[in-house]
Chain A
Amino acid sequence: GTARLSRAEPRAGDGRSEEEEEEEVKEEGCYQLYPGHIPTSPLQKALLAAGSAAMALYDPYRHDMVAVLGETTGCLALPNLRDKMKHHPEGYRILQERPRIRLSTLDMARLRGLPDGTLGREYVRFLEDNKVSPDTRMPPKFVDDEELAYVIQRYREVHDLMHTLLGMPTNMLGEVVVKWFEAVQTGLPMCVLGAVFGPVRLSARKLQVLATELVPWAVRSGRNASCILNVYYEQRWEQPVESLREEIGIFPPP
């Protein structure tokens, strides 16, 4: 038989959570909590965190590494986010209903038909202008809690909506700004690292704009805004972007 190291899998920092939905099986291999889940030991997570961070810096096109970094370092931030969602009526509903943002679930034609300035119209415009699709988000693999796996999935799928609400394109500069906003909002170490190290590859001129205008605005907005995961975007396509910004607390982009 295979010689596996047995280890007591620590529940990701949520001693307070009463909802232990899953049976805690201590054998690796029988431990898949959701499709795509790969159970990992603490040592493996540490190695993954270090490796993915290094690889993401070395090759910024390795989006999968950014995703892995987020999963392996999110053990404090994710339960935090989940609790914020649980204690908010809209967030709670999202956790119950588990909506997914995917091309198959979105009615693109309808959204395109909405008036200019509405969330739906601007979101589709953003996707088309930047030639991105919500389907390219990586599903989580290394999060050892099924609900937290959904939380990080939701965070990833909502990322494009963040771009829309903040009015930022998908170039390096735009991504860094969104990362600053997300870092303040979520506290995910991956966002913090991305926000701090992302600018390394920017030109001096862009760095200046970043430092003087964009980052302060992003940080102020992030602080002022309510939790962005608590917004049921799928039910707000008709809402004008400006009104949604006001409601959440995001300041108008410079």
Chain B
Amino acid sequence: VYQVFESVAKKYDVMNDSMTLGIHRVWKDILVHKMNPSPGTLLLDVAGGTGDIAFRFINYVRSVRERQLQRKLRHHQNLSWQEIAESYQEDKSKSLGDSQVVVCDINKEMLKVGKQKAQYLGYSEGLSWVLGNAEELPFDDDKFDVYTIAFGIRNVTRIDLALQEAYRVLKPGGRFLCLEFSQVSNSLLSRLYDLYSFQVIPVLGEVIAGDWKSYQYLVESIRRFPPQEEFKAMIEDAGFFKVDYQNLNSGIVAIHSGFKL
């Protein structure tokens, strides 16, 4: 799996857009909206490689923070000029409101691409990049408010271990969120989806990234991943409560959610 992602890292984002016709952006937006993070949240994004979830998290938290500040200003309309100006200084240094996201990935190349993207897009504060294995996270217990893994868990050899690690590093009350390809129930859609996956995606891989084999692997790994209910049971086995899932696009993708209580 490591070598697959080494060659895949640079063209990862281009391939994602081509394969999903840009829809993966919507899926990731939905994930962060579902998360509904408030300023001050500490997020761990595992297999977060090129930073898609991390950047969305930061944008979301920033806009929530801005709204908070605007509300505060409205209440302060009876203050003097100086007092208002002083409160700007204080708030400016906390544009994220102490929110932080740690992006953890097993692959150096993916992290490198992520860091470059962050620089290019102008993200600086609130981001940390850590090399780590989902099956054995380099973090202490009870640390994070939210744990996300988007399109990463199907590449993990021992999914149960990854789920256990997720449970361990989350604070009590913390939330587990997983965005992943899942099983399509509608049989017509399923046939079209299979056709597209097996016929078109490896071709896209060859033409865009010069790499047929990695994308053939990708399509096969999607088929091998457990269906929604089975995965839900696995999450429950790791100790999570209130485990639920939400199908997107009839099950092409699903968001599983669970809480550590």
Contact = CB atoms under 8 A, between A and B. Distances in A.
Interface of A: 2-5, 38, 41, 43-44, 47-48, 51-52, 54-55, 62, 64-65, 68, 141
Contact of A141 (B204, B207, B212, B220): B212
B223 A44 contact: no
A178 B126 CA distance: 56
B218 to A, nearest CB: 13
A55 B198 CA distance: 21
B226 interface: no
Nearest to A48: B203
A4 B202 CA distance: 13
A42 to B, nearest CB: 10
B203 A51 contact: yes
A55 B208 contact: yes
B200 interface: yes
Contacts of B208: 55
Contacts of A65: 207
Given A2-B220, A48-B206, A54-B207, 13 more contacts: A2-B223, A3-B194, A4-B198, A5-B195, A5-B198, A41-B199, A47-B200, A47-B203, A48-B203, A51-B203, A52-B206, A68-B206, A141-B212
Interface in B191-231: 194-195, 198-200, 202-204, 206-208, 210, 212-213, 220, 223
A47 B199 CA distance: 8
B201 to A, nearest CB: 10
Nearest to B211: A64
Contacts of B194: 3, 5
Contacts of A44: 199, 202-203
